[in-house]
Amino acid sequence: MAVVEVLTSEVAVPAEETPAGAIWLSNLDLAARRGYTPTVYFFRSNGEPGFFAAEVVKESLARALVAFYPLAGRLGVDATTGRVQIDCNGEGAVFVTARSGRYALDDLMSEFAPCREMRDLFVPPTPPPNPPCPLLFVQVTRLRCGSVVLGQAMHHSACDARGAAHFFETWASIARGDAAAAPVPPCFDHGLLAARPERAVTYDHPEYMPEPEPVDAAAASEYASAIITMTKAQVAALRARCPGASTFRAVVALVWRCACRARSLPHDAETRLYSMIDMRARLDPPLPPGYFGNAVVRTSVSATAAEVVSSPVGHVARRALAATSQGGDYARSLVDYLEGVDAMNLPRSGISRAHLRAISWVGMSLYKADFGWGAPAFMGPALMYYSGFVYVMNAAGKDGDLALVLSLEPESMPEFRKVFAEELARLDVV
């Protein structure tokens, strides 16, 4: 038997009639990575006969698609302007059921790391991410122990990670019969992030320009990935060394330093920390709480490898602050800048071997996706796009623990694990 056997593949359409027409996409939607974002949720069986019954999951998905009707549409193109948009036609999301005779949940959790193999096993295959294409693919895979992997791929033009978490929390509340607990309704007014009539680009935006030296996309796509947990005590000890820094900045500063050491970068080499900042609450006025779209912007800060490696981690955290402290005026400047470029064809091939891209999923409602049979035992990306990526997120079931999902060059990962463990050990003795 194959590792994962597909049983059914069909389309889940909205349970009720939904609004038709087109949804205009903002420059931040167009500038997002053009493709699907695959993630996985692991659910431990509770022994009930109806655990994660496919008909319940599919029926609740159909009801969730009523509120989140753009996800039942297709990526389209405005016939007049040629601008990419979402065509709300109610054609539905792809829904797949599968089973695995190989994996039990504990085996999978000990073996799992985001990679192409795991994505191919537990997330449905997706077409080229260009119009016309579906926006949501879902797969429910039952493991030999009765537990379930819920894999999904959502088109990044539709929304960012916070929007995806909003959708899954809503879907889960419907599935468990607790629709009243759903978060706020989604808002699809992407015009809230339209360019200003009088464009004013008041900042440089190097993150949206090609690197001076072209990135070898083939080499960058070869990576080793790992999931590393930091305990609540380790996080607290690290933050004590980084006064004034957020948890994300403190952790990223430590990862940045260890990555520079593991890569054996020359002391005078430039290393750049890229980040993605959610601007929902930073704009004036802020976006509605249920804003469903892309509201994140790329930022970065550079330093020499010597500064990152040799300075106290608190100093590196203060450098990281420069990549994570931009306000709403920065976002408005970026939107205006993107109005003057081809946002659909920005460089997206990866980053050079000296750099790091860090994304915060800390505080997102990733573990609120309880479909009626308990919270996920794990949630995370199914795939890393290239080497030099790190997600910082809450660990499952342990208040205050963090999970780092990391990709590095295969030759750098063993040394990173070593130096990162050494750094954590030093934190423990303070």
Quick one: average pLDDT of 44-68? 95
Q: Which residues pair with 226 in a beta bridge?
A: 406
The sign of the CA dihedral 419, 109, 57, 102 is positive
d(CA 371, CA 163): 18
Closest CA to 406 of 162, 156, 114, 121: 114
Quick one: average pLDDT of 414-422? 96
pLDDT at 25: 97
Give the confidence band of 265 by pLDDT, cuts at 50, 70, 90: very high
To 5 degrees, how large is the angle CA 285–CA 290–CA 291? 60
d(CA 6, CA 347): 35
pLDDT at 320: 86
Q: Which residues pair with 187 in a beta bridge?
A: 291
Report the range out of 119-123, 213-217, 345-349 with the highest average pLDDT: 119-123
pLDDT at 183: 81
Q: Tokens in use for 209? A: 């320009």
- Whether 169 has a pLDDT exceeding 90, the answer reads yes
Say if residue 127 is exposed, middle or buried (CB neighbours under 10 Å; 0-12, 13-18, 19+): exposed
Quick one: average pLDDT of 397-426? 93
d(CA 365, CA 372): 16
pLDDT at 18: 97
Report the range out of 210-214, 296-300, 323-327 with the highest average pLDDT: 296-300
Sheet with 270-278, edge to edge strand ranges: 224-230, 402-408, 389-394, 356-360, 270-278, 296-304
156 catalytic residue (yes or no) = yes
Active-site residue identified among 120, 189, 329, 370 = 370
- Give exposure, 253-277, as e/b (b: 16+ Cβ within 10 Å): bbbbbbbbbbbebeeebebbbbbbb
Give the confidence band of 344 by pLDDT, cuts at 50, 70, 90: low
Quick one: average pLDDT of 127-136? 96
Active-site residue identified among 29, 87, 156, 166 = 156
Domains and CATH numbers, the chain: 5-193 (3.30.559.10), 208-428 (3.30.559.10)
pLDDT at 428: 65
Closest CA to 420 of 313, 332, 335, 347: 313
Each residue of 178-237: pLDDT tens digit? Answer: 877 778 999 999 999 999 999 999 988 888 876 655 555 555 578 999 999 999 999 999
Strands (E) located in 231-295: 270-278
Closest CA to 155 of 138, 181, 135: 135
370 catalytic residue (yes or no) = yes
Quick one: average pLDDT of 344-360? 80
Quick one: average pLDDT of 336-340? 89
Give the confidence band of 375 by pLDDT, cuts at 50, 70, 90: very high
d(CA 141, CA 123): 9
pLDDT at 219: 56
pLDDT at 97: 98
Q: Which residues pair with 136 in a beta bridge?
A: 154
pLDDT at 363: 81
Give the confidence band of 1 by pLDDT, cuts at 50, 70, 90: very low
Quick one: average pLDDT of 61-66? 98
Strands (E) located in 269-310: 270-278, 296-304
pLDDT at 390: 96
- Whether 174 has a pLDDT exceeding 80, the answer reads yes
What average pLDDT is seen over the chain? 91
